[in-house]
Amino acid sequence: MALSTMGLWQLEQIRIVLVEPAGPRNVGATARVMKNMGLRHLVLVNPQCDPCDEEARRMAVHGADILAIASTVATLPEALIGCERAIATTGRLHRQDQPLELPETALPWLLPPVPQDSFAAALVFGPEDRGLSNDELVYAQRWVRIPASADYPSLNLAQAVAVCSYLLHRLALAEALGDAFPPATWATTGSSAPLDQLEGFYQDLETLLLKIGYLYPHTAPSRMAKLRHLLHRAGPDPAELAMLRGVLRQVNWAVDKTSQTF
């Protein structure tokens, strides 16, 4: 098997997600670097430009086929349907407890250790002018920040995609060649519940916690971000998530029953 293709089955299961990209050149350049690095699945969330624009195709060069098969969705949760793992990129420091990791520390976790037909993972990039908001970041289990000069730390969108795509390509080839594979800091075995199923659980959990008075509307986002982080680290599998949802249903039933007695 040629060196350029061996081991790249792992990259087939990775989605590159661009949230509200504004510039067709950046979309085209992203498609080009994805083609360079063996990535094929591009998802555009509410793009603010035409991904089939002449400038996009010109920048894509031989990556025009990536543009042609790119998916367009309205929201970030839609882009993550079916994904078990998601990493968000950010150039900003945040007050939340979620740590910012180096790409080389976190990105190995996106690659499945063994072939799994149902496995999918996403690497999410924000808009050129603002990056991902706190509300968007919470949909990912981990956050990475590409270290850069303090004089000008903000990378161009396509450049950020290039840095991360190169690293994913290098990691996949290292695995294929039997080289030392950088250990992920979170468990990489087993099957985690898909993120869209987790999102449904989070919404049900927030509704219940508001009902019983544990959460208040003005503090709910920050509290829920911490609960998301806890459960993301735990990585429940589908059976465990079903058990947690069963707990929520029973608690909700008990609360409603108690309220009816008064």
- Pairing mode, if any, of strands 142-144 and 100-101? parallel
Q: What is the pLDDT of residue 63?
A: 94
Instruction: Categorize the per-residue pLDDT at 1 as very low, low, confident or very high, splitting at 50, 70 and 90.
Output: very low
Task: Report how far apart the first and last C-alpha atoms of the chain are (Å, whole number).
Answer: 72
In this structure, are 207 and 152 located in the same domain?
Answer: no
Instruction: Categorize the per-residue pLDDT at 7 as very low, low, confident or very high, splitting at 50, 70 and 90.
Output: low
Q: Give yes or no for a contact between 108 and 142, defined as CB atoms under 8 angstroms apart.
A: no
Domain boundary residue, one of 125, 149, 176: 176
Rg (CA), the chain: 20
Contacts of 90 by beta carbon, 8 Å cutoff, 6+ apart: 100, 126, 131, 132, 137, 143, 144, 145
Instruction: Note the helical H segments in 131-194.
Output: 134-137, 157-176
Q: With respect to residue 157, please indicate whether it lies within any of the assigned structural domains.
A: yes
Helix axes 24-36, 157-176, angle to 10 degrees: 10
pLDDT in tens, 212-261: 999 999 889 888 988 988 888 888 888 998 999 999 999 988 988 887 76
Alpha carbon distances (Å) from 174 to 24, 77, 179: 33, 31, 5
d(CA 195, CA 197): 5
Q: With respect to residue 135, please indicate whether it lies within any of the assigned structural domains.
A: yes
229: domain CATH number is 1.10.8.590
In this structure, are 164 and 215 located in the same domain?
Answer: no
In this structure, are 103 and 140 located in the same domain?
Answer: yes
Report residue 25 as tokens: 């050149």
Mean pLDDT of 36-54: 95
- Domains held by the chain: number: 2
In this structure, are 139 and 207 located in the same domain?
Answer: no
Q: What is the pLDDT of residue 255?
A: 87
Task: Residue 226: give the domain boundaries.
Answer: 195-260
Measured at the alpha carbon of residue 20, what is the angle toward residues 15 and 21, in degrees to the nearest 5? 80
In this structure, are 60 and 145 located in the same domain?
Answer: yes
d(CA 253, CA 243): 15
d(CA 152, CA 154): 6
Residue 4 has pLDDT above 50, yes or no: no
Q: With respect to residue 4, please indicate whether it lies within any of the assigned structural domains.
A: no
In this structure, are 39 and 135 located in the same domain?
Answer: yes
Report residue 58 as tokens: 């010109």
Q: What is the pLDDT of residue 49?
A: 94
Domain boundary residue, one of 176, 208, 226: 176
Q: What is the pLDDT of residue 18?
A: 98
